[in-house]
Amino acid sequence: MSRRPVRSALGVVLAGALLFGASPAYAQPGAVSDREQWRVRQDIVDHALREVGQREGRGNYYPEKYQQVGQGVLRPAEWCGVFVNWAWTTAGVPDRPSMRPAPGGSVLDQGHWATYWQKWGRSNGRWKDIAERDVEPGDAVVYGNYPDMHAHVGLVVEVKYDRTGRRATHVRTVEGNFGERVVYSKLRPIEGLNAGRYLKASGFVSPF
């Protein structure tokens, strides 16, 4: 069984789990080409969903546990990238954007900078442009383009595909530091996906 049809089926399973208030689960793990990667993706989704409604304190003092996953995570800080890093790290994603710039490197090149996720994704073969409509649960969604300051990053928790199972049509996301809290979006079309009128999604970063 090819990965694309399996991926489409998983999108349906996620939708059903969310509808009935359960944690999303993937059907028939033996049919997936890389079971471990799908387990990690499911864990990203589960971790993100459990955090919906969490709020920051005054001055970007987001929940402290998001800082405790590794060195270099700042608090207080603008924390949308911190939240994505936390979900990926706690789910066991082995390679992630660094949360601190390399010695002598640009201060923009760190995971606190939302559009750095785009640059890192491109440099590591993980970037999927929005026009490709190629997205899976657990991917990071980037709004804006590197090195824009006005930008945002979140997590994809559900995907709806077309009849072929090859192109995404809609996504649902969980995003930190949106209105100073963790929010759960409605199912939104890929076309025109945004985090505000002037902040369009540029693409997705895969954890693998």
pLDDT band at 182 (very low <50, low <70, confident <90, very high): very high
Strand spans (E) along the chain: 127-129, 140-143, 152-161, 168-175, 183-184, 188-189, 201-205
pLDDT of residue 77: 97
Share of the chain above pLDDT 70, in %: 84
Query: Does residue 24 have a cis peptide bond before it, meaning omega lies within 30 degrees of 0?
Result: no
Spans of all domains in the chain: 3-205
Query: In terms of DSSP H, where are the helices of 25-79?
Result: 35-50
- Residues 126-135: tens digit of each pLDDT: 999 999 999 9
Residue 14 has pLDDT above 80, yes or no: no
pLDDT of residue 12: 41
- Residues 24-54: tens digit of each pLDDT: 333 333 334 589 999 999 999 999 999 999 9
